[in-house]
Amino acid sequence: MTSAFSIQSPHRPFLAWTSVAVAGLAAPALLLLAMAGAPAEGRPIAPMGAILAVGMMGAGMIGAAAAGRLLIGLALALVCGVGLATLASASGQAGFPDPASLGLAFLLASISFAARGALFARSAQGRGWWIAVAVVGGEGAMLFVAWAQPGALPDWLLALLPAQWASAAIRSAFSEAGATLAVWELAALAGTAAATLLVVRLWPRRWPYLIMFTAWLGLSALVLHRPGLPDEAPAQPPLAAAR
């Protein structure tokens, strides 16, 4: 029997892995470098969590869908997350006040993204990575709109997005309060990952989809109605703070 996480080779593999590199590393890195060029007092801190979240999503989800393997997507997401966080720190944009919280946020986000990629690979075979690209592009665009035009998107819509959950958890992890401040977002990432992996494991049975969508909607409701997160900027290293 075929492994639940081992699927056929991706359709147009060069494009698939190019998409992983661009969405997961190149584009987020360029955005972080562009932010680093802004004056420290006017630097847009808010989108940093979104940039890292979408980068990890691109690497983990598209990578898992292209490779047909959960662990490859998980590894790619973690590597990109650590790499982008290191770049943000090296460019003076953020420090690591609580590495354990940041690691927890990275781990749960990576598992969630890779699980969805594995499901796309399982359901669409070699073309699953196309679905992953569309999902990453759509959620990334909505996070950008939410940052560029606050209030343009309703809260209930943003609460449905795993990328938004990851963004909030990562942003909180960069703050002094730590990722546990975003406990509902962390729970949503973990819960949807577990439900998605159940669907992957039991494929081609359809009834697990009911569990997955119920978990997604229920956890989204918890995220929507949880107490608001304080608008805290990531902790700045002394050099950046002195600029």
Residue pair 71/59 in contact by the 8 Å Cβ criterion:
no
Cα distance between residue 223 and residue 199, in whole Å:
23
- The 8-class DSSP code of residue 181 comes to G
CA-to-CA separations, 13 to 53, 117, 123, 137, 148, in angstroms, rounded: 24, 15, 18, 19, 34
What residues contact 187, with CB distance under 8 A and at least 6 apart?
219, 222
Query: Looking at residues 29-52, what average pLDDT do you find?
Result: 75
- Residue-level pLDDT at 3: 46
- pLDDT-based confidence at 229, cuts 50/70/90? low
Average pLDDT of the residues in 50-77: 96
Q: Is the dihedral of CA 112, 160, 206, 16 positive or negative?
A: negative
The DSSP code for 66 is: H
3-class secondary structure, 5: coil
| CA dihedral of residues 112, 114, 118, 121 (deg, nearest 10) | 120
What is the secondary structure of 19-58 as a DSSP string?
HHHIIIIIHHHHHHHHHHTS-GGG---THHHHHHHHHHHI
pLDDT for residue 178: 64
Average pLDDT of the chain is 85
Give the position of tokens 């997401």: 77
Please say if the pLDDT value at position 205 is more than 90: yes
pLDDT band at 92 (very low <50, low <70, confident <90, very high): confident
CA distance 220 to 36: 33
The whole-number average pLDDT for the span 44-59 is 86
**pLDDT at residue 73 greater than cutoff 50:** yes
Domain ranges of the chain: 13-242
- pLDDT, tens digit (0-9, with 9 covering 90-100), for 165-189: 999 999 888 876 665 678 999 999 9
Lowest-pLDDT choice from 53-57, 118-122, 202-206, 226-230: 226-230
Instruction: Determine the Cα–Cα distance for residues 185 and 133; give it in Å rounded to an integer.
Output: 23
| Residue 12 or 132, more confident | 132
Running DSSP on this structure, what letter comes out for residue 236? P
**Mean pLDDT throughout 62-75?**
95
pLDDT tens digits, one per residue of 22-34: 999 999 999 998 8
- pLDDT band per the 50, 70, 90 thresholds, residue 61: very high
